[in-house]
Amino acid sequence: MLLTADTVVTGPDVLRPGWIETSGDGVRAVGTGAPPRPADHELGPVTVIPGFVDTHVHGGGGAEFAQASDAATEAAVQVHRAHGTTAIVASVVTAAPDDLLRQVRHLAGQVRAGILDGIHLEGPWLSTLRCGAHDPALMRDPDPAEIDRLLDAGAGAVRMVTIAPERPGALDAIRRFADAGVVVAVGHTEATYARTLEAVEAGATVGTHLFNAMRPIDRREPGPVVALLEHPAVTVEVITDGVHVAPAIYRHVVRSAGPGRVSLITDAMAATGMSDGTYRLGGLAVDVAGGVARVAGTETIAGSTATMDRVFRYALAHCGLPPEPALHLAVEQSSLNPARALGLSIGLSAGAPADLVVLDAGHAVTAVLRRGRWVVAP
């Protein structure tokens, strides 16, 4: 299939005009100017970018991945695919050992089937002081036997884990996961600056939703935020949904870490794509009002109701750059950086997966191609 468009952003380059040729589920060639043959789809005055990569998403369409059912995964995936997310790493929250093992076994099958791109265990090895929308009664110290059971159940599908490095046994757990090829993130943590750097030296390479559920910066104890921003080996997640961080904080993170070390995520929960009401995140009830999710009866934010196109447009609007550099930045942070941080393949180049999003003049999604097939047809 050959596609042409007025603008194609491959990742590093902007082609005006541009063309993309796919073969099966991959990209055969990309170029600028006149295409090598008549196009199958002349997309016209649109912008084509690589598919969005969401490395931290709990659900959508009224369902959550932690339900560990085919129907729940299908409902959640459909919502996010329609908004341009072509790679999804299913996140599950803190759960009891048997429940977590069941979730991993089921989701691993969906990874092998190509529906999901990995599993993210956001817990249970977190700080009860920074529990957020996790049940603190189910949090626990890392246990080597449990870790081995989860790795065996995942059979390579567990792609990322979030750990609070101050918990007893956490540094050994970080090393165990890193040795197994799992990306380790620091999050939901009360760790000191020094302890966070120890975690990075042990193998942690991601900061889970920076600033949220994390010890704040103090003038004499910088804490995890500064440590994660400073270390060149760390990619930091930011939820740019207009709720979790202020625009100035987003710009500060980009300036501090550099554009290549920031990943935009949704942290989306079951209410994504749905109306306001009461939902669940793990074992906790969540009230959604005005599109903002909070643990029932509290002011604690419980994930988001955002999709990747929304966080992409937020970055465009609030990064403080002119239009073309802003487009480069938003593509980098919503596609290339998260893929690189988790070892996924993305980008519009020969040999890459045929994953792309078509945007109109207002950067709304008008078409989505995943693995060479239209999820949303132009």
Residues 29, 90 within the same domain: no
This prediction's pTM: 0.96
First to last CA, the chain: 13
Q: Which two tokens stand for residue 120?
A: 């993210």
Q: Which residues lie below 8 Å from residue 115, measured CB to CB, with a gap of 6+?
A: 73, 74, 77
- 117, 267, 309, 355: which one is catalytic? 267
Same structural domain, 296 and 369: no
Contacts of 40 (CB under 8 A, 6+ apart): 1, 2, 3
List the one residue out of 26, 33, 37 whose CA is nearest residue 5: 33
Long-range CB contacts for residues 68-71, cutoff 8 Å, separation at least 24: 68/102, 68/103, 68/105, 68/106, 68/107, 69/106, 70/110
Task: Please check whether residue 293 is in contact with residue 271, taking contact to mean a CB–CB distance below 8 angstroms.
Answer: yes
**Shared domain check, 89 and 7:** no
Same domain membership, residue 70 and residue 22: no
Annotated binding site: 122, 133, 188, 209, 212-213, 220, 244, 301-303
Q: What is the dihedral of CA 131, 168, 170, 234, to 10 degrees?
A: 70
Give binding residues for Zn(2+) as ranges: 122, 188, 209
* Of 196, 333, 364, the residue nearest 251 (C-alpha): 333
For residue 211, give the 3-state DSSP assignment. Answer: coil
- Give the CATH number of the domain where residue 23 resides: 2.30.40.10
Detail the residues annotated as belonging to a binding site for substrate.
133, 212-213, 220, 244, 301-303
Q: In terms of domains, do 15 and 31 share one?
A: yes
The number of domains in the chain is 2
Catalytic residue list contains 355: no
Q: List the pLDDT tens digit at each of the 378 positions of the chain.
A: 999 999 999 988 899 999 999 999 999 999 999 999 999 999 999 999 999 999 999 999 999 999 999 999 999 999 999 999 999 999 999 999 999 999 999 999 999 999 999 999 999 999 999 999 999 999 999 999 999 999 999 999 999 999 999 999 999 999 999 999 999 999 999 999 999 999 999 999 999 999 999 999 999 999 999 999 999 999 999 999 999 999 999 999 999 999 999 999 999 999 999 999 999 999 899 999 999 999 999 999 999 999 999 999 999 999 999 999 999 999 999 999 999 999 998 889 999 999 999 999 999 999 999 999 999 999
Domain span including residue 236: 52-342
